Amino acid sequence: MQTTFRMDGLTRSERPVKPWMKYTPTIITIGIIAAFAMHGRIAQPANYNNFADHSAFFGIPHAADVLSNAGFALVAIWGWLALRPCRNSDQRRAGWPGYRLFLIGLFLTAFGSAFFHLAPGNGRLTWDMLPIALAGAGLLVGVRGDTQPGSKTNIEAIVLGLFAVASVAWWVTTDRHGAGDLRPYLLLQVLPLVLIPLWQAIYRAPRADRIAFATAMALYVLAKIAEVLDHQIANTLGFVSGHTLKHLIATAATAAIVWGVTRRFAGGGRRTAAGTHTISE
């Protein structure tokens, strides 16, 4: 029996992936979806739009929460300039459709979130949620392409991008009927935290890649904690609110992701695919 597998600069493995391991992410994904379904509706907290930041700068209300979004645009521009020129290389071709969607979503987040924070309310929240959902979908597709180069990531990027739009549309529709449901939207935030490290472990991504994404995931969790403790942090520190810190920490998380992806080309893209290997069992 022969098992064929790909070994390149991303996976670096000399051993085939065991068949049962390939199905683990699918099984876990189904389990997460089932858990969300059984949990029932997840509503936006009633006081979500009551942010602690009341600063003003040159007439900009909630200035700290608004201006702290600028980092997302800067990271997106950095990632685009670094990744787009090598989008057709052997190492980047599979992941590019996902990372392209991620970077576009990240860039739009800077403006959507700033627009929302100028006058927080559910009417504007859509423009904050939508680019975040697109970025989450893109990140999933990008890492899947990196770890599993045979994936049809162009199609997957379109499908998950549409799901991201639908998840926000679902919340808008249910919210207008007084029963807002965030489950599809939250699914796109939970899945990257679970599937990305799982894919990287199964397909043996380089250690530096795993460290970069683990750092990003840890920072993301820290950002969510700061978001929940918005008022407590503002009352304790005085000069900054928890939500402003959330933006800054989340920016650092996206920077870690972009660094982890772009570092492969630090030497001008010297690393190339090593080809396909066959092992007899």
Give Cα 35 to chain centroid, integer Å: 21
Cα distance between residue 68 and residue 248, in whole Å:
6
The residues spanned by each domain of the chain are: 63-266
User: Rounded distance, CA 258 to CA 215, Å?
Assistant: 12
CA proximity to 146, closest of 31, 220, 21, 257: 257
Residue from 242, 240, 220 nearest 232 by CA:
242
CA distances from 35 to 160, 184, 194, 279 (A): 20, 12, 14, 39
pTM of the model: 0.86
Reading the chain (281 residues) residue by residue, the pLDDT tens digits are 343 434 344 444 445 666 667 789 999 999 999 999 999 999 988 889 999 999 999 999 999 999 999 999 999 999 999 998 888 877 778 889 999 999 999 999 999 999 999 999 998 999 999 999 999 999 999 999 988 877 788 999 999 999 999 999 999 999 998 889 999 999 999 999 999 999 999 988 888 889 999 999 999 999 999 999 999 999 999 999 999 999 999 999 999 999 999 886 654 444 333 333 333 33
Q: Residue 161 in contact with residue 137, Cβ under 8 Å? A: yes
CATH number of 63-266: 1.20.1070
Q: Return the pLDDT at 1.
A: 37
Residue 272: predicted pLDDT = 38
What residues contact residue 223 under an 8 Å CB cut-off, 6+ apart? 245, 246, 247, 249, 250, 253
pLDDT of 18 reads: 66
